[in-house]
Amino acid sequence: MMTHVATMALVGLILAPLGAPQETDGDAPKKLAEQFDAAFNQADAKAVAALFAAEAELVDEAGNLYRGQDAITEILGRFFEEFPEAKLVREVEEFRLVGPSLAIEDGVTITTTSDQASARNRYLAVLIKTGDGWKIASMRQTAEEPLPTAHDFLEPIAWLVGDWVSEGADQNVSVSFAWSDDGNFLVGGYTIEQDGETLIKTNQRIGWDAAQGIIRSWNFDSDGGFSEGRWSTDGSAWVVKSEIVLPEGVTGSATFYLTPIDENRFLWSSLDRVIAGVVQPDVEVTIVRQPPAPKE
């Protein structure tokens, strides 16, 4: 049994090669497109299949092969029975005549049903000119891979999501991260306490810089300072090169290392710290994941 999306992809494939190539023998290809649109809008599987060559081959995105008008009529009939109001949009990217009776077309199809489910696929179609006019001889469709989102680029550091605390440090450090509502940023922050007093709170937002092709972060401290970091990985740790501005206008820099130990611990290191040209001591803290609160 074909899946919903696979069936939609198949129909997108069938209706794909309907761009109106410019031919010297009149408007036959354009009429073919109009016939396809009319038959599809009327959910007429037999009329659509009749626009294929008698022994046409059709391969859907799942690799299923349908050969001949009868097989095409059957699969279209099942689709129209379940989705009688389906619509299709074609984005023809290239049409080329190989000879007076042969043409190749490729592009993208988007098939949408009345419940707004949709399938986007690439297609390649071969059209032939027969004694009965232009027909579809062969088609193949593949699922179009969507472009990676900002969320996808941040997935390698998604292990940060959760609540964390320092282990065995003079100062208590708590860390918390979560996905933003739109899923395109990691947002959270750090709180440093000593002897029951909060020394500083830092809000952080981590995002994907598409122009530079890197992960970047922006920190805003409770005392008015801020910093910006550029993330990379050396295979064992995430390295964050940061530029710092203190509330009094003094600038500095530091390199932070986030080294995962296991799924519940990572080592947080601040090295190469320079403030106003003065080298600062290194800092290294082990951070452990807080267990979830017990359910009441």
The residues facing 95 across adjacent strands are 105
Tokens of residue 132, six digits: 């009965």
Question: Which of the residue ranges 22-31, 44-53, 189-198, 236-245 would you say has the lowest mean pLDDT?
Answer: 22-31
Host domain of residue 165 = 150-289
pLDDT interval class at 98 (50, 70, 90): confident
Is residue 295 situated within a structural domain?
no
Give the strand pairing for 52-59 and 133-143. parallel
**Residues 35, 166: one domain?**
no
Which residue's entry shows tokens 């579809």?
136
The pLDDT score that the predictor gives to residue 5 is 47
Q: What's the pLDDT at 105? A: 82
The verdict on 217 and 156 lying in the same domain is: yes
* pLDDT score of 21 more than 90: no
Residue 259 lies in a domain: yes
Q: What is the mean pLDDT of the chain?
A: 84
For the record, the structure tokens of 247 come out as 């509330």
Phi, psi of 261 (to 5 degrees): -100, -50
139 vs 10, higher pLDDT: 139
Please tell me whether residues 183 and 136 are part of one structural domain: no
pLDDT tens digits for range 66-83: 999 999 999 989 988 988
Task: List pLDDT tens digits, range 171-219.
Answer: 788 999 999 999 999 999 999 888 888 999 999 999 999 988 999 999 9
Q: What is the pLDDT of residues 141-174, one digit of tens each?
A: 888 777 789 999 999 999 999 999 987 767 788 9
* Unique residue bearing structure tokens 């203190």: 246
- The number of domains in the chain is 2
In a domain, residue 225? The reply is yes
Q: Find the length of the chain.
A: 296
- The alpha carbon of residue 27 and the mean position of all alpha carbons in its chain are separated, in whole angstroms, by 40
Q: What is the pTM of this model?
A: 0.57
Going across the sheet that includes 102-112, the strands are: 65-67, 52-59, 133-143, 118-130, 102-112, 87-99
Shared domain for 18 and 135, answered yes or no, is yes
Beta strands in the chain (DSSP E): 52-59, 65-67, 87-99, 102-112, 118-130, 133-143, 162-167, 172-179, 186-194, 197-209, 214-221, 226-233, 238-245, 251-262, 265-275, 278-279, 283-289
Residues 204 and 121 reside in one and the same domain: no
Q: State which of 86, 116, 143 marks the end of a domain.
A: 143
Residue at which a domain ends, from 121, 143, 165: 143
